[in-house]
Amino acid sequence: MDRTPPLKSKILIADDHHAIRQGVRGLLEAHPGYDIVAEASDGRAALRLALENKPDIAILDYSLPLMNGLELTRSIKHELPRTEILIYTMHDRESVLVDVLRAGARGYVLKSDSGAHLVAAASALAKHKPYFSGAI
């Protein structure tokens, strides 16, 4: 009988608010299957950490300093095409959604959604399936 534990998805969290990063980490660590490998408070640090850690999933705020979530999505997808991108943001404008989808994001969750949506999005992206907030 194979007793190999299931693989954990490596996660990068990028948000300029420490409390948000802590909350995302706490939500995901409460579920098996996630390994938070890096956290960043700005887009440039997030890109550097993504290149170093090669996460399976990058959870990105749209409004990051130094390099916003759209630019960061483009850069990560260019360098690490297998990394799934989840935009976790307060922005519910259609133009933002369209731009990040064109850049390669496959998930979009609003910060006003319940934590269950964030966990469901991470689970879907871990299986390379898209996930969008019900409000979108």
Give bridge partners of residue 108 from the DSSP assignment. 87, 132
The architecture that CATH gives domain 9-132 is 3-Layer(aba) Sandwich (3.40)
Name the residue among 29, 56, 51 with its Cα closest to residue 40: 51
pLDDT at residue number 136: 64
* pTM of the complete model: 0.93
Question: How far is residue 133's CA from residue 136's CA, in Å, rounded to a whole number?
Answer: 5
DSSP state of 32: T
- Residue pLDDT, tens place only, 5-32: 457 999 999 999 999 999 999 999 998 8
What does the pLDDT read at residue 92?
86
Query: pLDDT tens digit string along 73-130?
Result: 999 999 999 999 999 999 888 888 999 999 999 999 999 999 999 999 999 999 999 9
